[in-house]
Amino acid sequence: MTFKDCVVPVRNVVGEEGQGLEIFLGELEASRVFVAASSLGTAERALEESIEYAKNRVTFGKPIAQRESIRALLADMAMDIYGLRLMLEDVAKKIDEGKPCSLEASITKTHALETVCRVVTDKAMEVFGGRSYLQSYPIERLLRDARLNVLEEGTPTIQRLVTARALLSGELPYSFPW
């Protein structure tokens, strides 16, 4: 959007005049975490669907869930999801406590995008095989949902720039207890 010669009545100004960008950027932390949470939900659903499919899809006389390659895919999906869940819990706690966490929010969003793409577009699609492209199977929709999150609240490239800038200015996403 571009505003030219736009007059805003004083009663409609959020914060102080000239602080709009700072207020907007302050809200990005929570918004990035929401995108990460959406990615987590998509990944969890993909795992649930993959487990159910693997138990019921029979090839060469046995469910594909009995095949080691499928079990490895499911295990990898679960590990990715668990790690993302822990990251989200940490950054959400910081937001709830009113602590600054732009670095953590950026890292979590980037990790969430990579996780959901790995889980859905790599692992779940492999479990479902060619059927993952069919609209009659849920993975097709989850694939579109996973990719959509990449476009929200800054691309992974932007998130990496934000993360690197914070790291180079001395921030760390963790602290040592000693």
Among all residues, which ones are annotated catalytic? 153
How many other β-carbons are positioned within 10 Å of the β-carbon of residue 84?
23
* Residue 100 in tokens: 């600054």
User: What is residue 127's three-state secondary structure?
Assistant: helix
Please check whether residue 140 is in contact with residue 133, taking contact to mean a CB–CB distance below 8 angstroms: yes
| DSSP character at residue 58 | E
How many other β-carbons are positioned within 10 Å of the β-carbon of residue 166?
17
Which residues share a beta bridge with 59? 62
* Residue 142 in tokens: 């989850």
